[in-house]
């Protein structure tokens, strides 16, 4: 798709650098990577010009009530439970 840019980061420190350098209208992120969670990164993304209006989708691997409640209270726009398929995302 012309004009589409896709970047990958293996950790939240790298992701923070990416969103500081470039505008992203959509971020899809694991909710947790190792001992880190995405909430600090989400706050950082929201503080950027593109993040203020951009979409943030969290990938949730352990959908406990506590986890889903925290996601619902955050500024995450949507979440996808893992494992998932392309068809489940389309629906």
**Would you state the pLDDT for residue 45?**
95
pLDDT, tens digit, 9 for 90 and up, residues 12-56: 999 999 999 999 999 999 988 878 889 999 999 999 999 999 999
The 8-class DSSP code of residue 61 comes to S
Instruction: Write the DSSP string, 12-60.
Output: HHHHHHHHHHS--SEEEEESEETTEEHHHHHHHHHTSHHHHHSEEEEEE
- pLDDT tops 60 at residue 79: yes
Which pTM was predicted? Answer: 0.85
Regarding beta strands 32-33 and 36-37, do their DSSP bridges make them parallel or antiparallel, or are they unpaired? antiparallel
Confidence label for 1 from pLDDT (cuts 50, 70 and 90): low
**Would you state the pLDDT for residue 33?**
80
SS3 for 5?
coil
Q: What's the CA angle centered on 56, arms 55 and 57, to 5 degrees?
A: 120
The 8-class DSSP code of residue 91 comes to -
């Amino acid at each position: 798709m012309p004009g589409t840019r896709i970047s990958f980061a293996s950790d939240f420190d790298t992701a923070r650098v990416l969103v500081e350098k470039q505008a992203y209208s959509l971020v899809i992120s694991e909710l947790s990577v190792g001992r880190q969670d995405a909430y600090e990164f989400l706050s950082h993304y929201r503080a950027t010009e593109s993040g203020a209006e951009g979409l943030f989708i969290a990938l949730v691997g352990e959908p406990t009530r506590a986890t889903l409640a925290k996601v619902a209270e955050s500024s995450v726009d949507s979440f996808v439970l893992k494992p998932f398929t392309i068809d489940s995302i389309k629906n």
